[in-house]
Amino acid sequence: MERDEFKILVKSMKAVYAQPTFLPDQDAFNVWYALLKDLPYELASMAVQKHMLTEKFPPTIADIRAKANEVVERPAEDISELEAWSLVRRAIGNSNYHAEEEFKKLPEACQIAVGSPANLREWAMMDSDQVATVEQSHFIRNYRSAVKRMTEDKKLPPAFRERIAEHRRRHAELKSRDQPEIEDKEEAEEPKEEEKPSGMSEETRRKLDELLRKISI
């Protein structure tokens, strides 16, 4: 989107939202344009019109990007949590030997929630009741977070999204590096109690010998 095109959108927004604090000066204009210029003019225009038709208050930059995303994207949450889990259950069924292939078939949000092909393989070897209860609960919680994050990410400019993606890749690499093995310290053996000599004491043995002698007399 060119600056002159953005000026047209600003003029239309100011005509609807006449608050003096809305885009009050050139500095504000420059900031808005810098953060919205990656949007095609037609898409930005549709986003602005959608906001003006549905919202009483002036938009923010985030509002415009969200409206633009609503126009072009099928929301990730269109796949319900249970539908997503159904896809994962199907993948688990083939993951004893084909976990990598099954993982690649999953939608992005499902991949984020599952974590890795290794998890699919692990779930495939688990008791089915545990998978259907404990692991399903974990997956749905992770899927909900993944969808929320993806929805927020799609509102960002592509260049900014790429910076975030690169940061996440580096972070994942750092986590995946082999950590130095920490040898478990052997538990110090508890000192054994000194074994008491088995058998009778000398005094007891002496008395027993005396008793035996008396009996034998």
What's the whole-number mean pLDDT along residues 182-195? 47
* 75-87 pLDDT per residue, tens: 555 688 999 999 9
Question: What is the rounded CA–CA span in Å between residue 150 and residue 75?
Answer: 9
Q: Give the chain's mean pLDDT.
A: 82
The 8 Å CB, 24+ separation contacts for 27-36 are: 31/61, 32/6, 32/61, 33/3, 33/6, 35/61, 35/157, 36/1, 36/6, 36/61, 36/64, 36/65
Q: Encoding tokens for residue 19?
A: 């608050």
**Structure confidence at residue 200 (pLDDT):** 58
* 21-57 pLDDT per residue, tens: 999 999 999 999 999 999 999 999 999 999 999 999 9
| Residue 130 CB neighbours (<10 A) | 11
What's the whole-number mean pLDDT along residues 59-67? 93
Percent of all residues in the chain with a pLDDT value above 90, rounded to a whole number: 50
**Structure confidence at residue 188 (pLDDT):** 46
Residues in the chain: 217
What's the whole-number mean pLDDT along residues 163-180? 68
Q: Is the pLDDT of residue 17 over 60?
A: yes
Range from 115-129, 142-156, 162-176 that averages highest in pLDDT: 115-129
Provide the H-helix boundaries in the chain.
3-16, 26-36, 41-54, 61-72, 81-93, 95-105, 108-114, 117-124, 128-130, 136-153, 158-176, 202-216
Q: Provide the greatest CA pair distance for the chain.
A: 132
| Residue 147 CB neighbours (<10 A) | 22
Only one residue has tokens 């991949």, namely 111
Question: What is the rounded CA–CA span in Å between residue 93 and residue 102?
Answer: 9
Only one residue has tokens 């899927």, namely 143
Q: Is the pLDDT of residue 212 over 90?
A: no
Asked whether the beta carbons of 36 and 1 are under 8 A apart, the reply is: yes
In angstroms, the first-to-last Cα distance of the chain is 126
Q: Calculate the CA 162 to chain-centre distance.
A: 18
Domain ranges of the chain: 3-72, 77-153
According to DSSP, residue 193 is labeled: P
